[in-house]
Amino acid sequence: MFESLAKLLFLAVLQGIAEFLPVSSSGHLVIGQSLLGVNEPGMRLDLMLHVGTLLSIFVFYRRTIWRIISNFEFVYALKVVLSAIPACVVYLLFHDFVDGMFENTRMVGALLMFTGAVLIGTRYMPRGGKDVSFLRALLMGCGQALAILPGVSRSGMTLASARAGKVDPEKSAEFSFLMSAPLIMGGMLLDVVKGGGAESDGAYGWGLLILGAAVAAVVGYLALALLVKALKGRWFWLFGPYCMAVGLLTLVFAR
């Protein structure tokens, strides 16, 4: 029981931190499985952890979401839909290749180093104050599509793309995480379809699953707040050296 609870809390905290901070949640999961012997969570647990991080987005940006709904901001919603198209196209065309990447821990390490290099590069990009236009939304969507590869950070790529497009840091963070919501929900639905009624992880009852979702939600909310503060404080790039170090250690020690 204690081992199962420890695993649950570890995965929930990992999900909450890595889903939003630019360090690649998929890459950390692969590395954790390979180096720490942590198995992939069962379908039901995986879904509940994603529910937790999705909830943290809704709570953190509740005022923006309410504004979009109450004012029926169709144009903003259309930008969110547009940003999701590149990732959907890339996954549909290359899903077998992408799925195979999760078996290659060394490649994940190399991609983490790529993420680190991009994040460090943002230090030298000029800050802007522009809104998210359709073209900039598509640019951020292309960054999100690249992050389908494990080891490439979704938030890192989208926010670096926004910086390249001279988008206001606060607006870029808001759009980056709102644009992730449809993909998270789509991924949850895809997991259900792939599961096809298969056995879920029976180690966890609904009480523990709800606990895991709650922990992921709280940690995710704090990670979101930290990232927004990093963007405003001009130290977003400091996540880059961390990714470089983890990637290098993975290349050296992974089997």
pLDDT tens column, 146-191 = 998 989 999 999 999 999 999 999 899 999 999 988 888 887 777 6
The residue that leads in pLDDT, 119 or 4, is 119
Q: Identify the pLDDT of residue 199.
A: 45
Share of the chain above pLDDT 70, in %: 89
CA-CA distances (angstroms) from residue 49 to 16, 62, 224, 228? 8, 20, 16, 22
What confidence tens digit (pLDDT) does each residue in 10-38 have?
A: 888 988 898 889 998 888 877 876 665 65
Mean pLDDT of 89-98: 88
Distance CA 209, CA 177 (A): 24
Task: Answer for the pair 189, 50: CB distance below 8 angstroms, yes or no.
Answer: no
Instruction: Pick the range with the lowest mean pLDDT from 10-19, 139-148, 202-211.
Output: 202-211
Residue 114 has pLDDT above 50, yes or no: yes
The residue that leads in pLDDT, 142 or 39, is 142
Task: Answer for the pair 36, 160: CB distance below 8 angstroms, yes or no.
Answer: no
Distance CA 217, CA 220 (A): 5
Q: Identify the pLDDT of residue 9.
A: 87
Instruction: Pick the range with the lowest mean pLDDT from 79-83, 134-138, 201-205.
Output: 201-205
Task: Answer for the pair 169, 231: CB distance below 8 angstroms, yes or no.
Answer: yes
Residues 6+ apart with CB under 8 A from 176: 140, 155, 158, 159, 162
The residue type at 69: I
Instruction: Pick the range with the lowest mean pLDDT from 43-57, 136-150, 216-230.
Output: 43-57
Q: For the whole prediction, is pTM greater than 0.75? A: yes
Question: Using CA atoms in the order 144, 148, 152, 158, what is the torsion angle rounded to 10 degrees?
Answer: 10
Instruction: List the Cα angle 99/186/110 in 5-degree steps.
Output: 35
Distance CA 55, CA 181 (A): 10
Q: Identify the pLDDT of residue 38.
A: 57
Confidence of residue 116 (pLDDT cuts 50, 70, 90): very high
Q: Identify the pLDDT of residue 201.
A: 53
Confidence of residue 233 (pLDDT cuts 50, 70, 90): confident
Mean pLDDT of 191-211: 66
Residue 208 has pLDDT above 60, yes or no: yes
